[in-house]
Chains A and B, each alone.
Chain A
Amino acid sequence: MAFNRVGLVAAGVSVALHLIAGVMLATGRSNDRSVVAALEVTLMAAPILERPAPKPVKAAPLTPTGPSPSKRPDDAPRPAATPVASSSPPSPEPPATAAAVPRLPVEAAPPPPPKAGSASSLYAQRVWAAVDRRRPRAVVGATAATVRFRINRSGDLVSLRLARGSGRPDFDRAALAAVRSAAPFPPPPLEAAEADLEFEITIVSPR
C-alpha cells in the first residue's frame, strides 16, 4: 500500500532528522547559527513528511462533515514538530522576507532519500511555494492565521476555510485570499493519496 510506504519513509526521515537535530543540540552549541538553521530546517521538513504519524485517537468522534476540529483545544497535540515550528516563525525578525527562504525544505535540508515518499512531499513544497508567492501584507495586531484547504486531482481548489483565526479578520481574509489566489495548483502526483490533497498552512504576521 503506497500510503503505508509513504508513511514509513516519512516517519523514518523525520526520526532521522530529529536525531540529527538532537545530536547537534546535545553538543551544546545551541547559539551557533548553523545549528539554529539546521533545527529550523528540520522543523519545516518534519510537518510535511510526518503526516501519517500524528493523529491521536481522540480524532475519531469527529466526522469529516462535523464541526471544525480546530474548535477543540485538545487538537493541539500535534506531532512534536508543529509546536516548535509555530514557535520558530516569530524569531526571524530583521529580514523577515528573507527568512522564508531558508525554511524551504528542499533548499536547506539534507535532501531526503529520493524514494517513494518524496513525490508527495515535493508536491507539498510546490504548493507551499505557490502560497508563499502570494503571501499577504502583515496586519498590525494579527498573529497567525491557519488555513485548511483541499484540492482535487487537477489541482483546483475545492474547499477553503479558516482553521484558526489570527484575531484580526482582515488578516484572516488576506490569508484565505493568498491561498485562493495561489490556485490552481499544479496537478498532484498520480500516487497522491486522498489525504495528500488536503493541506493546512499557517500564515504568520510578523511582530
Chain B
Amino acid sequence: MNRTLSGRLALVAGTAAVAMAAPAFAQTQLPPVNADPAAASPTPGSPETLVQGEVIRRRAVGGDDSISLLIGEPGVAVQTGGGTTALPVVRGMADDRLLVTVDGAETTAFCPNHMNPPGSYVLASGVESIALSPTLSPVSVGGDNIGGVIAIRTRGPVFQEEGSGMVVSGEASLAWRSAIDGGSASGRVTASDDRRSIAAEASVAHGENYRSGYDRIVRSTEYESYEAAVTAAVRTDTGVVSVRAGRQFTPYQAFANQRMDMTENRSAFADLRYQGDYAWGSVDARASYRDVRHEMNFLADKGGDMPMLTHGVDLGLALAATIPTGDVGALGLGVDVRRTDLDDWWPPVPGSMMMSPNTYVNINDGQRDRTGVWAEWNGRIAEGWSLLAGLRLERVETAAGDVQPYSWTGMMNAADAAAATAFNARKRDKQDDVADVTLRAFWTPSDTLSLEFGYARKTRVPNLYERYAWGRGAMSSAMTSLAGDANSYVGDIDLKPETADNLAATLRLVDSPQARRTLTVSVFQSDVQDYVDADLLANLAGGFVRLQFANHDARIRGAEVSGSTELWAIGGSAPAVLRGQVSWVEGENRDTGDNLYHMAPITGRLSLEQPLGAWTLLAEIEAVGEKDQVSALRREPATDAYTLANLRATWRPTGALRVDVGLENAFDEGYELPLGGVSYGDYKTGGSVPPIGALPGPGRSLNLGLSLSF
C-alpha cells in the first residue's frame, strides 16, 4: 500500500514536473511553410504597381527625384519640377489629385508653386519601395485624392535573427551623372538585434544646370538637397513600435518652368507608429508631424530679388484595424485626422515702388483640416471571385484669415488693394462633407487569367491656394502657379470639391504560374464633376494669361498595355526578359471642349534585360509621340515625337558590392519634355523674348553608381 502510494506520489510529482515544464514549450511543431516567391497577380486591395528591390536601385542611379522612380510603369508620367521635386501624373491626374504618402504620413505641398511636394522629402537613394494604386485605390490607403495613391516607403526598421546579438550593418552609395555634373551620396548605419533596431541615415544630392540634346545648357535646372533621419524601433511579441525623425534642408533648387526658384526649404518631421498583431486582428496606429519653412526668390539665372516665405505645419493621426471575417476575408476600419496650417507672406523689398512698404500677406493663418472615417471589406464571395468594397466619409474644413497687399494706397497696388478689401469682407470658412466609394471585383477563373474591374467615386477638396490666393495684380497673381506654365492664377473661395467617377478594368494573362510570359491590358475612364480647371481673366504680355481656378466637368480616359516574355538563358544565368508597354491618355474639359493641361502623349517602351553571371545588361527604347492635344487656355506648348535609347549595366560580384553604369539618351537626342511646361529659365536669360518654348529634356548622360554594404 505504502509502496503503491509512494509510487503514485512519485508519478504525480513527475507528472506535475512535466506539466510545469510543458505549458511553455509543449506546442506542436508544424513543418515550415514557404512564402510565395512569385510576384503573383495582385490580390484584392494590393497596389497595382509595386516598384522595389533591383528596379528601384537601378533607377535611383539615374536621378535623385523619388517620384521619378515610377517612370517606366504603365500609366505614369511626371510633371517636371526641380531636380528632386517632380510631380507625379497618373492616368492624366497630377499633383494634388494624387495622394503621395511617405511611410504612411501625408504632407502638404505648402509652396504656392508646389515646389515642395510630399515626394520631395525623400531622395531616390533612400526609397525602399513605391506602391501605386491608380484611380480605383482602396479607401483604406487614403482619401483626398481622385487619381490614386502613391505610397513611398523608406528603408524601415530591420531586426536580426534571434541569437545573433547586436549586429551593426551599413550601406553607402554614390551616383554621378555627366549631364548634370553631379549626383548623390548616401549612407546608412543600422545597429540591431532581434528586438531592437536603430538606424541613422543621411544623403545629399547636387546637380548643375543640365545639358540638353540640343547641346546647350538648360537654365534654372540646378539643385542641391540634404536629408538626415534616425529610425528607432522595438519589436515585441505582438508588434513593432517605431519612431522616425529627421530633417531636410534644400539650400537651393532652380525651377526651369516657374518664375521663381526655391532658395531654401527646411523641414523637420517625426513619425510615431505602432503596428500590432493579435489573434483578433491587427492594428496600425500612427502620429505624424512635419514643419516646413520655405523660401522662394531668384537664383542667378533669373536674377532680381523678391523674397516669398512660407511656413506650414502638418499634424496627422491615424488608427486602423483589420479584423478577419470568418474564412472569407477581412474587415478594415479606420479613422484619420489631419490638421494643416499654412502661412504665406512676402516681405517688402526696400526701394521697390511695387513691393513696399507692407508685407504682402498671401495666405494668413490658412487651415485645412480633415477628419475621415472608413470601412472596407475584402474577401472571397464565390469560387474564383473576390471583392473589395470600401466607404470613406470625410469632413474637410478650410479657412484663411485677413490679408494685405504691399500697399493699400500705391498706384501699382490698386488691383491688389481692391482684391484684398473684397477678400477680407468675405466669409471664407468652408466645410465640405464628402464620401468616397471603391468597389472592385476580381475574377480569377484559372491560374493564368484574371480580370479585375471596378468603380470608385473619389473626391478632392481644393487646396488652400486654389481657394484663397487672392492677388489680382500683374505681379502678385503670377506668383501662384502650380502647373509649370508660368501663367498667373487667382483663387476662388467658392470653388467646389472635384468629384470623380472612375471606371477601370484590367485583364492579366500569364502563360503559367511562373509567369514566363505575361500580358496586361487596362482601360479606364474618369468623369470628373467640378474638375478644378481655370477660366480666362486676362491676356497678358508675352503670350501669358491670367486665369482663375474654376470648376468644370472633365473626362479623362486611356489605356495601358504591358507585357513580358522570357527569352533565352545563357549559362546558368536567369533568362533574358523582353518587356514592352504602351500608355495612352486623353483628357477634355467637357464644358469648353478644350484639352486638359498636361496630358502625356502616347508613350511606349521596349526593354531587353540580359542577366549574365554577375552582370545584368539592359537596353531600353523609349518612344514618345507628338503632343498635339494641348490646352489652348493655358497656351500649352506642343512637343514633337522623339525616341530615346538607354543602356544600363549592373555588376554585382558579391552581395556587398554593386556597380552601375548607364548611358541615358545614348544618341544625344534633342527633345522637349511633353510635361515639362515652359522653359522659363531659358526665356528669362534670353531676354524674355516671346514666344516662350517648351522645356528641353536632358541630353546624353553617362551615369555611374557604386554601392557598398556591410
By a beta-carbon cutoff of 8 Å, the part of chain A in contact with chain B is 43-44, 47-48, 50-52, 54-55, 57, 59-60, 62-64, 66, 68-71, 73, 75-76, 78-79, 82, 85-86, 88-89, 92, 96-97, 99-100, 103-105, 120, 124, 127-128, 131-132, 135-144, 148-150, 157-178, 180-181, 183-184, 195-196, 198-207
Q: Inside 8 A of B238's CB, which chain A residues have their CB?
A: 161-162
**Stretch of B16-24, B489-497, B519-527 that contacts chain A:** B16-24
Say yes or no: A135 contacts B25, CB within 8 Å. Answer: no
Asked if A76 contacts B163 (CB within 8 A), the reply is: yes
A73-B194 Cα distance, complex, nearest whole Å: 11
The segment from B34-42, B614-622, B627-635, B665-673 that touches chain A is B34-42
* B425 in the interface (beta carbon within 8 A): no
Q: When the two chains form their complex, are residues A96 and B34 in contact, meaning their CB atoms are under 8 A apart? A: yes
B27 touches A198 (CB 8 A): yes
Q: Tell me if B533 counts as interface (CB < 8 A to partner A).
A: no
Q: Is the CB of B34 within 8 A of A92?
A: yes
The answer for the CA separation of A90 and B437 in the assembled complex, in Å, is 43
10 nearest A-B pairs in the assembled complex, by CB-CB distance = A47-B29, A195-B26, A198-B27, A176-B277, A64-B23, A201-B30, A161-B237, A44-B31, A62-B24, A160-B279
A205 to B, closest residue via Cβ: B35
Known pairs A173-B282, A184-B326, A205-B35; A52 contacts B277 (CB<8 A): no
Q: Judging by beta carbons under 8 Å apart, are A199 and B30 in contact? A: yes
**Are A78 and B34 in contact (CB-based, < 8 A)?**
no
Q: Which of B151-159, B221-229, B290-298, B684-692 contacts A (4 or more CB under 8 A)?
A: B151-159
| B444 in contact (CB, < 8 A) | no
Instruction: Give the size of the chain B interface in residues (CB under 8 angstroms).
Output: 49
- For residue A106, give the distance in angstroms from its CB to the closest CB of chain B: 11
Q: How many whole Å from B139's CB to the nearest CB in chain A? A: 20
Complex: how many Å from CA A47 to CA B327? 27
Q: Mind listing 15 A-B residue pairs with CB under 8 Å?
A: A47-B28, A60-B17, A60-B21, A62-B24, A63-B24, A131-B30, A140-B52, A140-B53, A160-B279, A167-B160, A169-B275, A171-B35, A195-B23, A195-B28, A199-B27
- Whether B30 contacts A47 by the Cβ 8 Å rule is yes
CA distance A48 to B34 in the complex (A): 17
With A60-B21, A140-B53, A207-B37 as contacts: A48 and B330 at CB distance below 8 Å: no
Q: Which residues of B contact A140 (CB under 8 A)?
A: 52-53
Q: A48-B29, A124-B30, A195-B27 are in contact. Are A138 and B279 (CB under 8 A)?
A: no
Determine if A177 and B282 form an interchain contact, defined as CB atoms under 8 angstroms apart: yes
Q: What residues on B are CB-neighbors of A173 within 8 Å?
A: 275, 277, 282
Interface check B33, CB cutoff 8 A: yes
A187 CA / B40 CA spacing, docked (Å): 32
Are B26 and A180 in contact (CB-based, < 8 A)?
Answer: no
Tell me, rounded to whole Å, the shortest Cβ–Cβ distance linking B324 to chain A. Answer: 6
Instruction: Tell me the nearest residue of chain B to A182, going by C-beta.
Output: B327
Interface assignment of B240: CB less than 8 Å from any CB of chain A: yes
Residue contact B327 to A184, C-beta cutoff 8 Å = yes
- Contact A204 B26, CB 8 Å, known A180-B277, A180-B281: no
Bound complex: CA of A173 vs CA of B37, how far in Å? 16
Contacts A165-B159, A169-B235, A200-B27 known; 4 new A-B pairs at CB < 8 A: A47-B28, A60-B21, A97-B36, A97-B37
Question: Contacts A60-B17, A158-B279: A51 and B29 contacting too (C-beta < 8 A)?
Answer: yes
Pick the residue among A85, A124, A170, A199 that contacts B32 (CB under 8 A).
A85
Q: Is B710 an interface residue (CB 8 A)?
A: no
> For residue B158, which residues in chain A have a CB less than 8 angstroms away from its CB?
141, 167-168
CB distance from B103 to the nearest CB of A (A): 12
**Residues of B contacting A47 with CB < 8 Å?**
28-31
CB–CB A169/B23 < 8 A: no
Residues of B within 8 A of A70 (CB): 162
- Tell whether A89 pairs with B160 under 8 Å between CB atoms, given A169-B275, A173-B282, A199-B28: no
A-B contact count (CB 8 A): 204
List A contacts of B17 (CB < 8 A).
60
Instruction: Encode contact with A along B160-186: 1 for CB under 8 Å, 0 otherwise.
Output: 111100000000000000000000000
A206 and B277 CA atoms in complex are apart in Å by 23
Would you call B162 and A73 a contact (CB within 8 A)?
A: yes
Do residues A204 and B21 form an inter-chain contact, with CB atoms below 8 A?
no
- Bound complex: CA A160 to CA B323 (Å): 14
A136 to chain B, nearest CB (A): 5
The answer to whether the Cβ of B653 comes within 8 Å of any Cβ in the partner chain is: no
Residues of A within 8 A of B23 (CB): 63-64, 195
- Residues of B near A162 (CB, < 8 A) are 235, 237-238, 277
Residues of A close to B52: CB separation below 8 A: 140
A138 to chain B, nearest CB (A): 4
Contact indicator B28/A164 (Cβ below 8 Å): no
Give the chain B neighbours of A131 by CB distance below 8 A.
30, 33
The listed residue (B28, B240, B279, B330) touching A51 by CB distance below 8 A is B28
The answer to whether A203 and B28 have CB atoms under 8 Å apart is no
Once the chains bind, are A51 and B35 in contact (CB under 8 Å)? Answer: no
Considering the complex, give the chain B residue whose CB is closest to the CB of A124.
Answer: B28
Name the one of B21, B194, B278 contacting A160, with C-beta atoms under 8 angstroms.
Answer: B278
B34 and A159 form a contact (CB under 8 A): no
A51 CA / B513 CA spacing, docked (Å): 36
Q: Please state if A55 and B34 are interface contacts (CB–CB under 8 Å).
A: no
Residue of B23, B25, B281 contacting most chain A CB atoms (<10 Å): B25
Q: A64 near B24 (CB under 8 angstroms)? A: yes
Q: Give the distance to chain B from A76, nearest Cβ to Cβ, in Å.
A: 7
A200 touches B30 (CB 8 A): yes
Contacts of B279 in A (CB 8 A): 149, 157-160, 180, 183
Q: Which of these, A55, A86, A89, A200, contacts B28 with CB under 8 Å?
A: A200
B38 near A97: Cβ-Cβ < 8 Å: yes
In the complex the two chains form, is A137's CB within 8 Å of B161's CB? no
Q: Knowing A162-B277, A200-B29 touch, does A138 contact B162 (C-beta < 8 A)?
A: no
Q: Is the CB of A99 within 8 A of B34?
A: yes
- A51, A128, A160: the one contacting B31 at CB < 8 Å is A128
Q: Which residues of A contact B282 (CB under 8 A)?
A: 173, 176-177, 180
Task: Given A97-B513, A169-B240, decide whether A54 and B31 contact each other with a Cβ distance below 8 A.
Answer: no
**CB atoms of B24 and A59 under 8 A apart:** yes
Instruction: Please give, as numbers and ranges, the residues of chain A lying within 8 Å of B34 by CB-CB distance.
Output: 89, 92, 96-97, 99-100, 135, 203-204, 206
Distance of A189 from chain B, by nearest CB (Å): 13
Q: What's the Cα separation between A137 and B129 when bound, in Å?
A: 15
Contact B32 A86 (CB under 8 A): yes
Q: How far is the CA of A137 from the CA of B639 in the complex (A)?
A: 43
Least CB distance, B466 to chain A, in whole angstroms: 37
A44 contact set on B, CB distance < 8 A: 31
Contacts of B160 on A, CB cut-off 8 Å?
Answer: 167
Which chain A positions have C-beta within 8 A of B27?
Answer: 51, 148, 150, 195, 198-200
Among A57, A120, A164, A171, the residue within 8 A (CB) of B162 is A164
Is A167 a contact of B30 with CB atoms below 8 Å?
no
B277 touches A160 (CB 8 A): yes
Report A-chain residues with C-beta under 8 Å of the C-beta of B31: 43-44, 47-48, 85, 103-105, 128, 201
Cβ contact within 8 Å between B28 and A165: no
